[in-house]
Amino acid sequence: MAVAKAETVIEAEPRTIANRLEEDIALGRILPRERLIEEELALRFGVNRHVIRQALMDLETIGLVTRQKNKGAMVRDLTPEDVINIYAVRELLERKAAELIPLPTPPEVVARLKDIQQRHSQAADAGEFANVFRLNLLFHKTFFAACGNPHLADAIQHFALKAHIARSLTVGDPKLLKRAIEEHAEMVRYLERGDRTNLVRLAVEHIIPSRDAYLETYRRRFGKAASASG
């Protein structure tokens, strides 16, 4: 990874580190199969090795990295089967949540979503990828939290995170990004209008392009068969 001096990290909590690493993985700054060495990361973030350790364990339970005893952690390599399966669960959960969101949606929720959407769009225009990542995450979190079932919302969040490895391959695509942002705006409009049918349809369709882009990329890169190797 070759990082020289410590980045200043406001908080040294494992959660914060884990989030930063998630971001690095999602943005493709750390690639699948890349090793994550505890001491290196400790140096980079300027924290104790135990904090890193904890963060890596967290990432393991999320499913973003794999760890082998005495061998260390590496970014997980998702096969096309994995991606298809993960997205199948995402579709199931997110459809359900979209069906549960109360219509008309409380105005403060709509207001918050509009605000996030706007900032997301601005970050995209400015090319601030880290912020794009965070605001996209926040939009989805806020949107699905509105379903009223926190446990369902958690599960959705969980699977969105899992999918981030897949998204790393396609995160640079400006066309996909533009489309995603437009669809966010559209979803908010459906909330306001109380259009359940279109809301559910779009919530489900919204995540498909990044899945297909991943599958396409993978196919081109490694051939048709899913030579998993893990």
Q: Which stretch binds DNA (CB under 7 A): 62-70, 138-146, 159-167, 214-222?
A: 62-70
Among the listed residues 17, 26, 30, 36, the single contact to DNA using CB under 7 A: 36
DSSP SS3 for 187: helix
For residue 65, report the phi and psi dihedrals to the nearest 5 degrees: -130, 160
| Under rule CB under 8 A, residue 161 binds a copy of itself | no
Label each residue of 13-79 as H, E or C: CHHHHHHHHHHHHHCCCCCCCCEECHHHHHHHHCCCHHHHHHHHHHHHHHCCEEEECCCEEEECCCC
Span 45-104, contacts to a copy of itself by CB under 8 A: 54, 57-58, 61, 82, 85-86, 88-89, 92-93, 96
Q: Is 6 in the site for DNA (CB under 7 A)?
A: no
- SS3 label, residue 179: helix
69 binds DNA (CB under 7 A): yes
* Helices marked H in 74-162: 80-100, 107-126, 129-145, 150-162
CB of 152 to a copy of itself, least distance (A): 5
- Site residues (CB under 7 A) for DNA? 12-13, 35-39, 47-51, 53, 67, 69-73
Catalog residues that contact a copy of itself under the rule CB under 8 A.
54, 57-58, 61, 82, 85-86, 88-89, 92-93, 96, 149-152, 155, 158-159, 162
